């Protein structure tokens, strides 16, 4: 199953300029949804010639199905074809991914409507400097 952005398949051709994204997963069978965030990259330490060096490594974003155990269980039970994965926002830094994830969750009232949303909590710690260069 692929990711969609603006109704088109997103293959990751420009991920080098982004840190991560905010996404929406929709269960096509019952309409329940989940809003989350995912980073394109993580740092990995390697030892090269006896020195520690940090390298940027692509994450598992292409095959990612959220951190929600409930979403993962439904994907395993119903199959990937019963879900749609959409990218809502591309983000330049970790702070803006947290900001836009929380913003979408609050705007969509995910905690007030558990019959419509998988989300069971909203977590964020954001400073205004995190969103200065966000898209």
What's the predicted TM-score (pTM) here? 0.88
Residue 29's domain is classified under what CATH number?
Answer: 3.40.1440.10
Please count the other Cβ atoms lying within 10 Å of the Cβ belonging to residue 25.
Answer: 23
**Least confident piece of the model among 39-48, 78-87, 108-117:** 39-48
pLDDT computed for residue 124 by the predictor:
82
Domain total of the chain: 1
pLDDT of res. 132: 62
The whole-angstrom separation of Cα 119 and Cα 71 is 9
Where in the sequence is the domain holding 63, given as residue range(s)?
A: 3-131
Of 135 and 118, which is predicted with more confidence?
A: 118
Q: What is the DSSP string of 12-78?
A: -TTGGG-SEEEEEEEETTT--EEEEEEESEEEEEEEETTEEEEEEEE-SGGG---S-HHHHHHHHHH
Report the percent of the chain where pLDDT is more than 90: 76
pLDDT digits 0-9 by tens, 23-74: 999 999 999 999 999 999 988 887 878 888 888 899 999 999 999 999 999 9
pLDDT of 135 higher than 60: no
Mean pLDDT, the chain, rounded, equals: 91
Please report the pLDDT score of residue 128 as a whole number: 79
How far apart (Å, rounded) are the C-alpha atoms in residues 3 and 108? 21
């Amino acid at each position: 199953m692929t990711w969609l952005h603006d109704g088109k398949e997103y293959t990751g051709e420009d991920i080098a300029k982004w840190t991560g994204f905010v996404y929406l997963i929709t269960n096509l069978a019952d309409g329940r949804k989940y809003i989350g965030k995912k980073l394109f990259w993580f740092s990995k330490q390697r030892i090269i010639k006896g020195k520690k060096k940090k390298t940027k490594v692509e994450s598992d974003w292409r095959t990612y199905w959220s951190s929600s155990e409930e979403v993962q269980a439904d994907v395993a039970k119903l199959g990937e074809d019963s879900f749609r994965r959409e990218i809502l926002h591309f983000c330049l830094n970790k702070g803006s991914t947290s900001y836009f994830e929380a913003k979408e969750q609050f705007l969509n009232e995910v905690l007030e409507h558990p019959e419509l949303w998988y989300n069971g909590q909203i977590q964020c710690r954001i400073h205004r400097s995190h969103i200065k260069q966000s898209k």
